[in-house]
Amino acid sequence: MTVLEDRASGAEQRLPTYQVLVDDIKALGVEQVFGLMSDDTAVFATALDSSGIRFYGARHENNAIAMAEGFSYATDGLGVAVIGSVFAVALGPHPGSSGYGRALDHALLWNIVLLIVTFVAVFALPRRQAHHLAVDAG
């Protein structure tokens, strides 16, 4: 749950974090998102769709990032990719171990504007790894 405070009135509003993300993405003018449907992303994808943002499904994380990259390149807009878990790339044996490292490398090489939304349950990680993930996330 995320608590938002209205600066004018000082009133607090509690919203699910995924809804805050959806509202922020909509405020950026994004009309479509490319992603992998999974247990991790289903509620988020449904919230996107309910807000009028079209969710285009992919069969693999690499494809979702490549679709967002192609959209960004073709339109000079923000490409948004939603992938289930950052687990393999952040904590795997080597960078790109999940298969989406190459698509991400290409986007970085060509300065493509991307927003990649990932999900991970920090409580499910071993303590040392969860700490590093939380520190890396800011």
User: How far is Cα 83 from Cα 57, in angstroms, rounded to an integer?
Assistant: 10
Tens digits of pLDDT across the chain (138 residues):
666 666 677 778 788 888 889 999 999 999 999 998 888 888 999 999 999 999 999 988 888 888 999 999 899 999 999 987 655 444 444 444 445 566 667 777 777 888 888 876 555 544 444 434 443 343
Quick one: pLDDT at residue 24?
92
Tens-digit pLDDT profile for residues 40-51:
888 999 999 999
In the chain, where are the structural domains located?
2-136
Quick one: pLDDT at residue 86?
59
CATH architecture designation of domain 2-136: 3-Layer(aba) Sandwich (3.40)
Q: Indicate the burial class of 133 (C-beta count within 10 angstroms; 0-12, 13-18, 19 or more).
A: middle
Quick one: pLDDT at residue 25?
94
Written as six digits, the tokens of 65 are 């990032």
Written as six digits, the tokens of 51 are 């807000």
Per-residue HEC secondary structure of the chain comes to CEEEECCCCCCEEEECHHHHHHHHHHHCCCCEEEEECCCCCHHHHHHHHHCCCEEEEECCHHHHHHHHHHHHHHHCCCEEEEECCCHHHHHCCCCCCCCCHHHHHHHHHCCCCEEEEECCCHHHCCHHHHHHHHHHCC
- Contact between 31 and 53 (Cβ < 8 Å): yes
Quick one: pLDDT at residue 28?
93
